Structure 1
Amino acid sequence: MPRFTIKTLNAISHTGLSRLPKDDFEVSSDAASPDALMLRSANLHAVEIPPSVLAVARAGAGTNNIPIADYSARGIPVFNTPGANANAVKELVVAALFLAARNIVPAASFAHRLDGDAASMDKAVEAGKKAYVGFELPGRTLGVIGLGAIGVEVANAAAGLGMRVLGYDPQITVDHAWKLSSFVEHVTNLDQLFKRADIITLHVPLVDGTRGLIGAEQLEKMRKSAVLINFARGPIVDESAVVDALESGQLRAYICDFPSPALNKRDKVVTLPHLGASTNEAEENCARMAADELRDFLTEGTIANSVNFPNASLARAEGTSRIAIANSNVPNMVGQISTLLAEAGLNIADLLNKSRGDLAYTLVDVDGEVPDSVMAEIAAIDGVLSSRVI
């Protein structure tokens, strides 16, 4: 009988689910008491999840459809799949660069509406094409806001196209910095990026600090007739301010992945139906990564790519039982746990404690089996959010 049950809330690629061995995992869309949830776009904010849930994994990067604070309070790690869809989004952003530079969408619409015989069409083409004169990308300046997995790939691709590239990210990781092309200029002042860039593309998550990041004040600082590209999240941009900037000529074009009533059928706007990660390859990559994250967490207590808990990995000592504890990041937590284990006569073979902000995570390998009574005492420690024996 499988040890763990995973409930899927959206259709998940079978390529990803195949990474969950059937001897250990049962995958179901209607499990009543699952050990974990796997989803893509399902909104969990108004959903009461069962007390059996130990972890949640989103097969995608953004997690604004998940009430992370609520799950953190229950000791539930929330996983995402950063970088798994990076190439898919990068390709679409590169396409957007050409859409904006060469006026491809309005030009194609113009051509689509032509009728008459060949001679009249030729005449209309010659007369009409002047309205769609564009510009070439080499020598133009692209500003990339957010240098995560996607932002780095976009910046590198643009540099390869001969563009001057400015990158802004005050929290860029060492790994992403290593992957960034030496031709990308890392700027530390966002205002300077606005003033220098011909095209700006956004690659930041939707959080309180980025909601409305691009508003009237920022648009006013941009170069006249700049282009704005948004394949991150719609609310990062103030749509009404964008509409005003388009009408005044401050913005040349706005290309995004988020149709809305305010943007629909407007000149100088191209909206796509949230196609950023909509490739078979991206869906498979995300599913594989999410499945791996849940498998490793449920079977070994390993945490990787959690948006709320720290990364934690501990090689398991042979012949031991592993205790996994999610707790508040407060003093003497490890001391209290160690004391309880010592009083129960349980020897600690290895221990790992990691923290991230207000949260911490502890793995303890002990010789022999851990009695239920000891786990009850650990669960009763003030600040322990969840605990289990693996």
Structure 2
Amino acid sequence: MRIAVSRVIPEVGLNLLREAGDVTVWEGELPPSRDELVRLAEGADGLLTLLTERVDGDLLDRLPSVRVVSNMAVGFDNIDVAACTERGVAVCTTPDVLTETTADLAFGLLLAVARRIPEGHNAVRAGAWRTWEPMGYLGPDVHGATLGIVGLGRIGQAVARRARGFNMRVLYHAPRRRPEVEEELGAEWRELDALLAESDFVSLHVPLNEQTRGMIGREQLRRMKPSAVLINTARGPVVQTDALLEAMEQGWIWGAGLDVTDPEPLPADHPLLRYPRVVVTPHIASASFTTRARMAELAARNLLAVLRGESPPRCLNPEVLTRD
């Protein structure tokens, strides 16, 4: 079997693939262009991708030999699943293995913004630490505050569990109520507008789709408390960037912690970065040694299972596996 990998991934994944077939890896630090990806994957049976690669009908028509696309991510907004299904191409992802690590980063951003950790660190590095200041670097308490979680899937629930350790009140918004989770986590369901109005911190954990794209805009940000903090470790386009910039300019909210942005990457001269209480990290929510290795291994196992005619651990369109 021939396999194309769109970026260098942890060795545990690459070794599994190399033991099974002929593997071609894109060695560049930046993602391949569309044409470069086609050249890389020409004649390949399987394609292992990252979120940076757009997989659609046009690409698949140029790569007719591909039978499986294995995305090394829990999200799949970069993949046109319907186009893949139409062409009999299996689509696989890597959920579960990054849940706890992503929740760690979400809570880390929350603490970093609230306690103004990057500001303090930068002041020390700049030689601006002169003395203990009774009015310096004040921010909101995290313990005992109200956390609103938008999207109570695996990652949202993991963030809620962390919040309990800080004695936080947890609200959540989801398309349907989760009574069993409410009981386990002591979480209270709210309509989105009510959650935004009541919460001291709002953490986003929804997939990117037509319903969630731009769901946090001017109207929603204006409903939040002036002392509130917005955290986004979901997908950048869930938040309207211009609206968030206006929210910081007008003081509608106190701060924001973003691991994902729109555009992504966020340019170094973007006006959002002028605000010290906006903390931005470069999409690193799953970036632990263990988690990235598990993601690479699962992505490889997904791909190999399909090519071997077996049932992959995580497939979005299993109906294609039973076609003649």
> TM-score when scaled to structure 1?
0.70
Conserved 8 A contact 1:5-1:25: yes
| 1:232-251 equivalent positions in 2, closer than 5 A | 232-251=234-253
1:58 corresponding residue in structure 2: 71
**Residue-by-residue CA offset, 1:109-157 (whole Å, 9 max, x unaligned):** 2233226xxxxx6xx3234x51311233221011111122221211111
Conserved 8 A contact 2:181-2:187: no
Q: Which runs of no fewer than 5 residues in structure 2 stay unpaired?
A: 26-39
2:63 and 2:181 map into 1 onto residues whose CA distance is 41
Structure 1 window deviating more from structure 2 (89-98 vs 27-36): it is 27-36
1:153 corresponding residue in structure 2: 158
Match for 1:194 among 193, 196, 206?
196
| 1:119-134 equivalent positions in 2, closer than 5 A | 124-127=130-133, 130-134=135-139
In the TM superposition, residue 238 of structure 1 has moved relative to its aligned partner by 1.0
1:143 corresponding residue in structure 2: 148
Flag the 1:362–1:291 CA change in 2: closer, same or farther, 3 A. Answer: closer
2:180 and 2:297 map into 1 onto residues whose CA distance is 25
Q: Name the structure where strand makes up a greater proportion of residues.
A: 1
In structure 2, give the amino acid aligned to 1:250: W
The 3-state SS of whatever aligns with 2:231 is strand
2:195 and 2:258 map into 1 onto residues whose CA distance is 20
1:160 and 1:362 map into 2 onto residues whose CA distance is 44
Number of aligned residue pairs: give it: 300
**Residue-by-residue CA offset, 1:307-337 (whole Å, 9 max, x unaligned):** 3x14xxxxxxxxxxxxxxxxxxxxxxxxxxx
In the TM superposition, residue 299 of structure 1 has moved relative to its aligned partner by 1.8
Conserved 8 A contact 2:102-2:155: yes
Conserved 8 A contact 1:141-1:166: yes
In the TM superposition, residue 361 of structure 1 has moved relative to its aligned partner by 4.6
Question: Which 4+ runs in 1 deviate beyond 3 A?
Answer: 17-21, 45-49, 177-181, 360-363
In structure 2, give the amino acid aligned to 1:139: G
Match for 2:284 among 275, 282, 300?
275
| 1:310-389 equivalent positions in 2, closer than 5 A | 310=318, 360-361=319-320, 363=322, 387-388=323-324
Match for 1:75 among 88, 102, 107?
88
Flag the 1:186–1:6 CA change in 2: closer, same or farther, 3 A. Answer: farther
1:16 corresponding residue in structure 2: 13
2:5 and 2:234 map into 1 onto residues whose CA distance is 24
Conserved 8 A contact 2:3-2:17: no
2:243 maps to 1:256:
no
2:18 and 2:80 map into 1 onto residues whose CA distance is 29
2:31 corresponding residue in structure 1: none
2:28 corresponding residue in structure 1: none
In the TM superposition, residue 181 of structure 1 has moved relative to its aligned partner by 7.0
1:27 corresponding residue in structure 2: 23
1:20 and 1:179 map into 2 onto residues whose CA distance is 38
In structure 2, give the amino acid aligned to 1:225: S
2:211 and 2:247 map into 1 onto residues whose CA distance is 23
2:108 and 2:299 map into 1 onto residues whose CA distance is 28
Using CA pairs below 8 Å that are at least 6 residues apart, which structure has the higher relative contact order? 2
Conserved 8 A contact 1:167-1:184: no
In the TM superposition, residue 211 of structure 1 has moved relative to its aligned partner by 0.9
Conserved 8 A contact 1:12-1:39: no
The 3-state SS of whatever aligns with 2:254 is strand
Flag the 1:34–1:192 CA change in 2: closer, same or farther, 3 A. Answer: same
1:196 and 1:148 map into 2 onto residues whose CA distance is 21
1:338 corresponding residue in structure 2: none
Question: Could you say which structure has the larger radius of gyration?
Answer: 1
Conserved 8 A contact 2:198-2:225: yes
In the TM superposition, residue 248 of structure 1 has moved relative to its aligned partner by 2.2
Conserved 8 A contact 1:80-1:306: yes
1:34 and 1:179 map into 2 onto residues whose CA distance is 43
2:17 and 2:161 map into 1 onto residues whose CA distance is 35
1:337 corresponding residue in structure 2: none
2:314 maps to 1:305:
yes
In the TM superposition, residue 171 of structure 1 has moved relative to its aligned partner by 5.6
In structure 1, give the amino acid aligned to 2:196: F
CA-atom RMSD in angstroms: 2.5
In the TM superposition, residue 186 of structure 1 has moved relative to its aligned partner by 4.1
> TM-score when scaled to structure 2?
0.83
Match for 1:5 among 2, 22, 47?
2
In the TM superposition, residue 202 of structure 1 has moved relative to its aligned partner by 0.6
The 3-state SS of whatever aligns with 1:300 is coil
The 3-state SS of whatever aligns with 1:83 is coil
1:353 corresponding residue in structure 2: none
Seq. identity, %: 31
Q: Name the structure where helix makes up a greater proportion of residues.
A: 2
Q: Which runs of no fewer than 5 residues in structure 1 stay unpaired?
A: 116-120, 311-359, 364-386
